[in-house]
Structure 1
Amino acid sequence: MSVDKTAFSDAEPMPRWAEPEKLILSVAINGAFFRKDENPNQPISSQEIIRSAQECIDAGAQIIHIHARDGRGYNVLDTGLFKETLTHLRRQNNHIALDACLVAVNDEEEKMMSEMMSLGVMEGVPVNATSIILGDNRFVKSPAAMIEKTRRALAQGLTPQIAVYSDADIDNARRYLIDSGLIQGPLNWLVLPGLPGCSPTYSPETMIDGFMRLVRLIRHIDPQSVIVACTGGRSSSYLATLAILLGVHVRVGMEDTVWKWPHRDDKIQSNVEVFRQISGIASALGRDLMGADEYRKLMTLAS
């Protein structure tokens, strides 16, 4: 047996995989749901978010994602809180890429969302193409809301990141955003399985089957898509590993999980701990981390 030829044809015996060498590894410093009584290590205040993000940046993270929490610990779309965090991080680390979760739940937050888009401190903004029961909450974005948010993002020079939680959401994005002609591929997708009400990850088999279906559906309608697996829930570390194996990009951190592993109850101690864990897995699998400038270039939509 030869490593690179056969005596009977020109066929290559073991073709090289088309796996991309560079990996987007975004770190989500905090999220919308979990409280300090569920994990005391969860960053809530602006100072805690900045400190946790800086630890990750110092460890090599190039892409940072944040939420804002008010004094009671609730997720809010507050321009002042976002500006405090994002402008500080940008001032101290001009080389990194930043994005934030801008999900408005009332008219006041709609106004703040528009203000946030115009600040010039972010690379992209999520557009949730969904209608689900997320945890115990009804999380519904109407076609009009999806379309309007996408238009606002494009008008401000931001990349709409299509956020999907189940296979039905992918069809919503196809109908209202893609086939309508509003945006063209290759597009940026955020895939968020694993939380209650999303694509279930009850076991390794269900995690793999569900995630593979989501990836296949996206690639069917957007063959050159840029897919980022947002690894929340109990399966977080295992889902991140699966995504890396599949050539998909990854968002990790304390956004939507409190656990290190799906089969144990150990709590995450810090975001930098998770970043080092998953970047180590990526390195072991031959995936180099993508820099912020490469990330920005990859996010640019076709005109």
Structure 2
Amino acid sequence: MITEVFITCALTGAGSSVERSPHVPVTPEQIAQSAIEATRAGAAVVHIHVRDPETRRGSRDPALFREVVRRIRKSDVNPVMNLTAGVGGDLTLGGPESPLPPDPGKTDMAGALERLVHVEELRPEICTMDCGSMNWGAGSQYIMVNTAGTLRAMAARVKEFGVRPELEVFDTGHLVVVRDLIEEGLIDRRPLIQLCMGIRYGAPDDLTTLMALVHQLPPGTVYSAFSIGRMQLPYAALAPLIGANVRVGLEDNLYLSRGRLATNAELVQRAVEILERMGVRVMSPDEVREKLALKVHA
């Protein structure tokens, strides 16, 4: 067990959750305000996706990231900003019998450097990289695509930027990619890893699977663990028991309790309450910067 942790708040994601809750932020103003409120509630890190304000779908438009970051930086809080670099690997095939061409309305495939345009411009302290490909959704033709070659190119570029990658691990094979990146000198030997549990066709959220992942982490890894849906808040209690930090937020779960839709700030506040009742101290943004040796860019 560890006795101090940091909380990451994943604010909005890129999925269809906006159709199920009015609290999921969509516009840059809403996303920034939600980040500010989550920080005040106790989050040290805010994990940022952006959405097209008109379609409300996930986007990688650098202008939208720019506006969110600008608003947070001019506020009275100073969270560690973690920008996603996961968008741009979305492939939806045409169907079981006619996979090609892909569905043009649901496919967004971009090159490695194109997926990092906003990271290069804004230089957040952290950006996320999904460490492998996987099927997504029962009966769906959607594949989250992150080839080994793409990840190597992205890791090398992120290293040049002086940005710390957070490596999103959805299953055991993704840790093989992490180890390869370490051995090739593309990421730090003490990596920052997020264990993403409970996602269909990824690692299930049972304790046996979680501990199998924990036992395969490279030595010295700083890691967090979360589960989607109703297991999100139980994982806030579980995480420090297995040496992990905490992630909550509307990207992964919409509810504070059965039938009670949450805001990001409420999820963070509940996580803080859980942790403090366990005798676990919640770290501030500046403490996280020191712990992770983050580079603060102007």
Amino acid at match of 1:180: E
The question of 1:240 aligning with 2:236 is answered: yes
1:21-42: CA deviation from partner (whole Å, max 9, x where unpaired)? 3211011111111332222221
Number of equivalences: 271
Larger Rg belongs to: 1
Q: 2:157 is aligned with what amino acid?
A: R
Structure 1 residue 179 displacement after superposition:
2.3
- Taking structure 2 as the reference length, the TM-score comes to 0.84
Is residue 182 from structure 1 mapped to residue 183 from structure 2 by the alignment? no
The aligned counterpart of 1:43 is: 25
Deviation at 1:72, TM superposition (A): 0.6
Instruction: Tell me the residue number matched to 1:89.
Output: 72
SS in 2 for 1:260: strand
Shift of 1:53: 1.8
Alpha-carbon distance, 1:213 to partner: 1.1
AA aligned to 2:130 is N
Instruction: Give, as a single letter, the amino acid of the residue that structure 1 aligns with 2:192.
Output: N
Percent identity for Structure 1 against Structure 2: 25
- Shift of residue 94, structure 1, vs aligned partner: 5.5
User: Contact (CA 8 Å) 2:42, 2:284: kept in 1 or not?
Assistant: no
The code of the aligned residue for 2:208 comes to D
Q: 2:204 corresponds to which residue?
A: 200
Instruction: Using the TM superposition, name which of 122-131 and 36-45 deviates more.
Output: 36-45
Superposition map of 1:53-68 within 5 A? 53-68=35-50
Contact 1:90–1:121 (CA under 8 A) maintained in structure 2: no
Q: Do the aligned residues in 1 keep the contact of 2:224 with 2:247 (CA within 8 Å)?
A: yes
Alpha-carbon distance between aligned partners in 1 of 2:232 and 2:77, rounded to the nearest angstrom: 29
Which residue of 2 is the match for residue 167 of structure 1? Answer: 172
| 2:73 is the alignment partner of 1:80 | no
Inter-partner Cα distance in structure 1 for 2:186 and 2:114: 23
Asked whether 1:131 is paired with 2:127, we answer no
Residues 259 and 109 of structure 1: is their aligned pair in 2 closer, same or farther, counting only changes over 3 Å? farther
Q: What's the C-alpha RMSD, in Å, of the aligned pairs?
A: 2.0
Q: Deviations over 1:23-67 (max 9, x none)?
A: 110111111113322222211122221222222223233321111
Query: How far apart, in 2, do the equivalents of 1:110 and 1:145 lie?
Result: 6
CA distance in 1 between partners of 2:174 and 2:222 (Å): 16
1:297 maps to 290
Name 2:153's counterpart in structure 1: 148
* 2:274 corresponds to 1:281: yes
* C-alpha separation in 1, matches of 2:33 and 2:187: 36
**Structure 2 unaligned regions, length at least 5:** 89-107
Q: CA offsets, 1:234-290, max 9 Å, x none?
A: 3211122211222210111101222335xx4x2432111111111111111121111
Matching residue's letter, 1:211: L
Q: 1:194 to 1:228 in 2, by over 3 A?
A: same
Q: In the alignment, does 2:230 pair up with 1:228?
A: no
Gaps of 5+ in 1: 1-18, 202-206
Distance 1:260 1:60 in 2: 16
TM-score, normalization by structure 1? 0.83
Q: Which runs of 4+ in 1 moved over 6 A?
A: none
Aligned to 2:102: none
